[in-house]
Structures are given as structure tokens and as C-alpha cells.
Structure 1
Amino acid sequence: MLKNTPFTSGTKSSVNPKVMLAMSLLVGMSTNGNLAHADERESLEQLRATTSNLIELLVQEGVLNKDKAEAIVKKANQDAAKQVQQAKADKTLDGSSTLDEKSVRVQYVPEHIKKEMRAEIEKEVMTNLNYKAGERLGMPGWLDRISFYGDMRLRFENNAFSESNAPKDLLNGGIHNNRQSDIKNTTEDRNRFRVRGRLGADLKVNDWLSGGLRMTTGQLTSPVSPNQTEQVSEGKYSFALDRAYLKAQPRDWLSITGGRFSNPFFYTDMVFDPDLAFDGVATTFTPTISDSWSSFTTVGAFPIEDIESSDTNKAKSKWLYSLQTGIKWQSANKSTVKLALAYHDFSNVEGHANSLALPGAYDGTVPAFRQKGNNTFNINDVFGAGKEKYALASKFELVNLTGQVDLLTFDPVHVTVTGDYVQNIGFDANEIFKRTGTRYEKENEGYQVRLDVGSNSFNGPSSTEVKPNDWQVSLGYKRVEADAVLDGFNDSDFHLGGTDTKGWLLGANYGIDKNAWLSARYFSADSITGLPLAIDVLLLDFNAKF
């Protein structure tokens, strides 16, 4: 037996009055009789057929049960009969005879009004049917509060190394241990196929609380790369949770997010890799100043590495404390200008030397993950050769200025210019010398400029639809000195990640169909002051999202 499902989301179980009135009118208009005008008769016959089909659909879908539908039709017929009887009893104003008993006089309804009525009824019916889908099918209501999304990326990657590069042994400690890295190759070109797969769900808990979950491929030890290298010997790809958060929005201008979530700041990949997740809590304020001006401020605390300190473990937990404030202007044609100033304090990431009295006491100051470029020192220097452990020499307190101009003069083509400047004000050569016994040159600045022309659908949020023939081209230049940013968290593609690098980037995207596109990027980068290390990276991607 079909369930008599309420047509609206309220507590009443009757049909929406507006829809019922419209259906009654349509039934009444199409009840027996010969119409006074032939063209009106054809239109009303169409409405009568539409009404019958609509009522039948409501019964089939479970919005109305059969008895309720019959009652609606019966009432419409009764109303029509009363109108006929009333018409027989009335005389026209000019004394003419009463209506023929088989005729019904109907007020003329313009065609555009009929179309609007049909569209409104159809929209309301389908909206309510969709809302009640879970109940109609006997499925739990929470399914209506979850929306799934995902994407796949197939990549060909070419890494080209210069013949003049320093050997990897020199870069991995050796006589150049101030830039110690874990580089496995500096001379042999490499080609590989890679894949990235992501599957997520947006959760709506109630009007003010939402959340999200997302799974992704990638190495479990890397916070910046979700890529999985294709090889049969891999056995199975890793697929792990990289988003798990709740977001409260008690006001339109206020949101609070906690858990593991996407970067909450206005940023570029010079400071943070686009795939880097943030753990912790962030609060964002977005008050509107006027129709053209708005502001945004984000403050957050993010644990980097939890360390259980004790009498024998002197290392402390590592945190990132951040504050960013900015302003945005929007013109009448939707062109925008954004400018933001941020302060990022990476607390307790610098290394401390072990002593003979407490061997291993500061092992926790060694970074859990690095790429390359930051100045380092051996915290086990007192123990001699064979026991080397390298930690960061400098503290990291970043002041970051980011600006962007997005012109829509040639709408839908965007012309976007982005500039980014960062300085590590935590770098102090004298303080580093006291702590490490080594004096380092001050290399604590970085900047990037980039031009993007075309559609912004390729770098928009996951909900943005890529359309066939969408296109975008990009050109940029980047220079990041050794201790300008933390090398473990910035872009993992340019120079294969890290700092102490400068060079150019070229990019292009082209939509081949809905939500399917090709992209190509080329990076040509060299080291700045370290041992010679030139790396060119070519990325060819086929992307699809759903």
C-alpha cells in the first residue's frame, strides 16, 4: 500500500494548499462541457490532460494515496457542477438567456499565465518529491543531508636533471651538511605514470553546522603529495583519510572549523602546497563593509607534531599559530582586488643539540617530514661520525603579503595577476650561532608573481563545473631562499619541492567535455646558493571530477 506522504515539510499531512487550489482550478476548467471559444477549449483540454497525469504521478510517487486523489477529483467535479447550476439560475446583465446547460463560461486566461502556473506546479511538486525521496523509498533521512563528490587524475611526469648537478652524496650531508636533504637522485632523468584519486562527502547536520570527510591516495608519510606512482609491484594503493572536520556557522559572517580541513587562508603554493591539510581549529570573520568592499580575517592554531615531553625527552610539541587579515573590493562587472597580510608562527620547529649527559633528549626536534632547502645542523655532533641527526637551524616566523587582481573586463575570460612576498623574521644569525655553533648567511625572503588568463573553473572549488572548450594559460616566476619558508610544507612539484630555488613556470588547461580536461605544466628551476641542483619538471594530466 502506498504511504500517504505529506506534500510539504511541515507537520500537516495535507497537500500544499497552493498546489491543491491550482489542481482544483485546472480540473474545474476541464470538467464536462462545450466551451464558448474553440481555441480556449483546446488549451483547457491540454490542462485537463496535464492535471490527470499530475494526479496520477502523485499517486505513483507516494505523495498522494489513491483515496486522496479520488477525493480531490470528486471535489473538483462537485465544484464544477455547482458552477453550472449557478450559471443556469443567473441571467446575463443585458437580459440574455441563461447558459446552455452543457456549457460553462470560463474567464479567459492568457497563455503566459498558464505557462507560469504549469512551471510553478511542476517545480514545487518535483522539489517536494526530491525532499521526500528517502521517506518514500523507505530509506533513512540522513541520506538527504549528504552529498558525495570526487575526482581522478592520471599523470605522466618527467623529471629532467642537469648534467652539472652536484652528486646526491654531497647534498645528503657529507661536506655540505648545512643543507642536508634526503635526495635519492640528482643526475638521471626519470619518467613515471602517477594517479590521484579522491572521494569525499559534504555533510549537512543542521542549519548552522556542516562537515566533511575525504579519502585520497598518496604516501602515508607525505603531507603534501596525494600522487601514487603506478607500478604492479606496489600491490595495492594507499587510500587514507585526509579530511575530517566540522564547521559551525552561527552567523553569515562567522565560521569556526575544527578537525582536519583544507587551507583556510588566502595563499599561494610558495608558502603552502595546495594539497596540504590543516589539523586543528580556525575561525574566520567575513564582515561586509559596503556593496563593493568586504574584509576577511582568519585566526587558527594547528598542531604539527605531538611530542610527549618528559625528564629525558626535552623536545616540545610543534605548533603553527596563524593570523591573516585582508580586504576585498569588487566592481560592478565582478572584477575583484584582494590584499591580505598574514603572520605564521611555527613554534618549536627549530633543532636543539643533544649532550653527552642526556643523549637523545632532543631527538624530537628532528622534523618528521622534509623536502629540501632549509639550513640544518647535526644535533648529534658531540657523538662523532655515524650518529648524525639533522634538525632545522632557524626558527620560522613568517610575514606573508599576498595580493591578487582578477579582471573580468573580457568576461567570461579572467585575467588574473597574483603576487606573493614572504619573509622569515624568525631568522637570527646570532641566535643560531649560539645554539648550533655555526654561522649561517641570511637567506630568509621569497616572492612569486603569476599571470593566469582564461576560465577560472580549473582552479575553483570542487563544485565548480568545467565546461567543454574552457581554457586557461599561465606564466609565473618564483624565487624562494633557503630559510624563507618551511621546506616541508610548500609546493612539492616546483624543483620537486622545498626551498633554495628560483625559476619559471608555464601552464595550460583545456576542457574537452563537461568536468573532463587536459592540463600541462612545465617548471624550470635551479638552486640559488646551495650546491648546483637544476631540475625541470613536466606534468601532463588528464583530469575528471564528479
Structure 2
Amino acid sequence: MNTSLRTKRARSPHLAWLCPLAIAASCLSMPYAFAQTPEQAQSIKEELKTLREDQARIAELQQRNEAAIRALEARLGVASPEPPAEITTGTAAPGTATASAANSVLDRLKITGDLRLRSQHDRSDSDARDRTSGQIRARLGATYAINDRVTVGGRLVTGDSDDPNSSDVQLSNWADDLGVSLDLAYAQLKFGDLTVYGGKFPQPFARTDLVWDGDVNPQGLATTYKHGLAGGGALRANALFFVVDERAAGSDSTMGGLQLGYDSPTYGGFKYDISGAYYHYSLGSLNGADSGDWRTNRLNPDGTFMSKFELANLLVGATWQGSDEKWPVRVVGDYVKNLGAIDKEDTGFGVDVSVGRASKPGDWRFTYGYSQTDVDAVLSAFSHDNIGIATNYKLHALTVDYTPMPKTAISAIWYHYKPNDPAYAGSNQPNDWLDRIRLFFLMNF
């Protein structure tokens, strides 16, 4: 055996006593190291109390600062940055992250839709035989908020995809399946009071059926601006670049429109609104149009429109609430003049008076309307198709709406109409009053 190794082993019994002695000394010294007098302990407690109070005040100040920042961002239309992910320790409960992500997606997704069943009866003195028919309309739409600024939307509807004025389907054709098309597909960007749309989007203008049918959804680019005023009023501005028909060869058909509006505050139960618009059509191409698009407007021998369409439109409304919230009174007047018409067949107007509301179960609403247009007062491709004459008509309309239960409505409408100018009556008898009666049941979700 090596001598040096024997020497180390011989010394090891003496070294072994050092570790226990050091540990014992450390243990004996610990109570003396942490021992404090009663005065020192009380001082430490008071200092800890002061630190906790300071921490609470700092947290309160931080909350106030966050609230002030959020308020300023809301006034400036600036989105808040996403908070950093919280750092945690330990293991999350199974499925917690998945459930949180699913809830976030569902919060950003909104689905809406409706189903309408309608019966219609048409009667005339000598134009055609009386007719009774049925129609159905179904719509399913959705929007999804990608973030605080960007939203995408779309909607599926029944109806003829070549008819922008209606999504109703006639119950006929030996029970053939219903046609379905996409009538909305758009992106929406929001910047405070300003919203920008691109694609095929909901109608951005304040409207009545005189100029814009409720089913017409333009395509192209639009902006809407609404700024709230002190007292509850608002200023509005809406603009649209409408791609009517784009052609690879030849001129395109487009429309540029601008509408400015004002909504008043409520004074003693009374408020009013006013909107002025100008719509300028450049109809270079009619190749994508059909008889449902020009309808009763006058045409040249080559199939082009005789008049240009540069529409100046004024819309005025007034609402009086009164003492009973179930019976508000609403009056709306709409006036349009085609500055591009070739003659005096250029004017249209309408007045609607409604009494009551139709938003809660048990509500009733009664509406009477009168409207009249010249043959080229509006572009018939996008005006209403509620009756058999698109322009050049005199129309009385009486509507009764009843809300039997939430998300439902029952309505009855009577249209009484005839041609306005006998020179442009076409196939209709100039003095023959026509009647159309509609009864429908609507369900929303």
C-alpha cells in the first residue's frame, strides 16, 4: 500500500470530528442571530404596515391612470395595445386554455338571420287576371371581429342572384330546390367615428324605397362617419364608390355618391333628422344588365338609357314620442330630382306617416305612405320593386305591423297604384288602378 495513502487515512479520524463541531456551533449561534428586543420587533411591524399601505396607494393610482388612458384613447379613437400574457406557475386545469380560446372566438362571432313567409294577391280592372301567389325569403349572415378595428362579414340569401332588388323566391316550378347566393361579402375597418367598407356591403345611406330598394347592397368602396354632439345630436357623412359594371373592353359603369346628414337632440319628446345626397352615375356599359335592371326607364334604340342619372336627393324625418312610449309618431319626406334627365320627367317624392312601434310583444304600428315618380326620376335598377311599375307611378300604401312575440312580426300591406303619365304607361292601362295585398310572417334570430 502506498505510504502517502496510509498517512491520509491515519489523519482522517481527527478530521471527522471537525464537521459535527462546526454544525453544532452554527446551530447554537442561530437563536442569537435572529433574536430581537420587543422594541425592535414592534418597529419592524410598523415598517411592514407602512409598506403595505404604500403598495395599496400605488395600486389605486395605477388603476386611475389606466382609466384615464382608456378615456383619452376612446376620445382619440386609438385602440389599446393587448396586455402582455400573464406569467403563472404551476399546471393549468385540463381544458382551461381551450375553453378560454373558444370563448374568445365566440365573443367575436355574431350570427343573424331571418325567415319570411309571404302570401300575395294582385288585382286589376283590365290589365290582367287576378293572381294569388306565395313567396319565401331566408337570410343567414355573420360577422367576425378579427381585432378591435377589422371586421369581416358575409350573408347567404335565397332568390335570383341576377336580381339585386329582391331575395324572395316564388313558390312554384314543381317544388324545385331554392336558389341561394352570397349577397354580402365585405371587410370593415373602424377608426373612431369613421368606418370604411370594401367588397359587397350593406347600404351606407339613409334611404327610403323611392331611391334605394331595401335589398340593394352596393359593391366597391364606402365610408360612413358619425360624430356625436353634446346633447345627443350627431353629424353624419356617407360616401360610396359603386362599381356597377366593370368591363375588360370598353367603358365601365360606376356611381359616386355623397350624403351629409344631421340628427337633432330630443327636445320635449321631439327630434328630427335631415339628409342631403348627390348620386352621379356614369353608365358606360349595359352589357351586364337585363330587363330587370332598366325596367321602366326610357331607352334609346340601341338599348342605352335616354337620360343620364345625376340624382339630387333630400330626406327629412321627424319623430314625436309623446307621453306613451308605445305610440311614437314618425313622419318622413323624400324628394329626388334627376339633374341629368333629357326633359321634365325628372322628379319623384314620397311621404310616410307611421304611428306606433313594432319592437316589443304586443306592439302595433300603422303606416300610410304616398309616393309619385316621373319615368326617369330615379334609376329603376336600384329603386324599389314592391309594385309592378318601377317608375312613372302614383302609389298609396297602407301597412299594419303587429309583434306577437319576441323576434317575430306579422304584417299586412296594401298597395294601390297606377301609371302617373299616360304617355309612359307601357303595357298598363293608363287609368287602371292596380292593387297588391301582402300578408307575411317574419322570424328573426
Residues 147-190 of structure 1 deviation map (CA, whole Å, 9 limit, x = unaligned): 11110000001121231x4xxxxxxxxxxxxxxxxxxxxx1221
The aligned counterpart of 1:198 is: 139
SS, match of residue 227 in structure 2: coil
Residues 519-539 of structure 1 deviation map (CA, whole Å, 9 limit, x = unaligned): 010101100112325431111
CA deviation after TM superposition for structure 1 residue 232, in Å: 5.4
Pairing partner for 1:151 from 108, 114, 120: 114
CA deviation after TM superposition for structure 1 residue 14, in Å: 6.5
Residues 416-449 of structure 1 deviation map (CA, whole Å, 9 limit, x = unaligned): 00000000001134xxxxxxxxxxxx21000000
Please show how residues 95-114 of structure 1 align to structure 2 within 5 Å. none
SS, match of residue 98 in structure 2: helix
Please show how residues 509-520 of structure 1 align to structure 2 within 5 Å. 509-520=401-412
Pairing 1:229–2:142 present: no
| CA spacing shift, 1:412–1:135, aligned 2, 3 Å | farther
Query: 5+ residue gaps in structure 1?
Result: 1-8, 16-62, 67-131, 166-186, 310-314, 350-361, 380-389, 430-441, 458-466
The AA in structure 2 aligned to 1:405 is A
CA distance in 2, matches of 1:275, 1:363: 21
Normalised by the length of structure 2, the TM-score is 0.74
Pairing 1:481–2:374 present: yes
Deviating above 6 A after TM superposition, structure 1's stretches of 4 or more consecutive aligned residues are none
SS, match of residue 392 in structure 1: coil
Please show how residues 124-523 of structure 1 align to structure 2 within 5 Å. 135-136=98-99, 139=102, 141-163=104-126, 165=127, 187-231=128-172, 233-251=174-192, 253-309=193-249, 315-331=250-266, 335-348=270-283, 364=287, 369-370=292-293, 372-379=295-302, 390-409=303-322, 410-429=324-343, 442-457=344-359, 467-493=360-386, 495-523=387-415
* Contact kept in structure 1, 2:306 and 2:342, CA below 8 Å: no
The AA in structure 1 aligned to 2:174 is S
Residues 248-297 of structure 1 deviation map (CA, whole Å, 9 limit, x = unaligned): 1111x111111111110011100010011110111122223432432101
CA distance in 2, matches of 1:134, 1:153: 41
* Contact kept in structure 1, 2:412 and 2:437, CA below 8 Å: yes
* Contact kept in structure 1, 2:350 and 2:371, CA below 8 Å: yes
Identity %: 26
Normalised by the length of structure 1, the TM-score is 0.61
CA distance in 2, matches of 1:322, 1:502: 27
CA distance in 2, matches of 1:302, 1:319: 6
Q: How many residues align?
A: 355
CA distance in 2, matches of 1:134, 1:195: 43
| CA spacing shift, 1:288–1:160, aligned 2, 3 Å | same
Residues 495-524 of structure 1 deviation map (CA, whole Å, 9 limit, x = unaligned): 325101012000011011111121010101
CA distance in 2, matches of 1:507, 1:267: 18
| CA spacing shift, 1:232–1:133, aligned 2, 3 Å | farther
* Contact kept in structure 2, 1:260 and 1:279, CA below 8 Å: yes
The aligned counterpart of 2:57 is: none
SS, match of residue 394 in structure 1: coil
The aligned counterpart of 1:34 is: none
CA deviation after TM superposition for structure 1 residue 231, in Å: 2.4
Please show how residues 50-69 of structure 1 align to structure 2 within 5 Å. 65=93
The AA in structure 2 aligned to 1:391 is T
Pairing partner for 1:528 from 420, 425, 434: 420
* Contact kept in structure 2, 1:339 and 1:403, CA below 8 Å: yes
The AA in structure 1 aligned to 2:254 is W
CA distance in 2, matches of 1:502, 1:443: 14
| CA spacing shift, 1:293–1:140, aligned 2, 3 Å | closer
- Structure with a larger share of its residues in strand: 2
| CA spacing shift, 1:209–1:192, aligned 2, 3 Å | same
Q: Please report the RMSD computed on the Cα atoms of aligned residues, expressed in angstroms.
A: 2.6
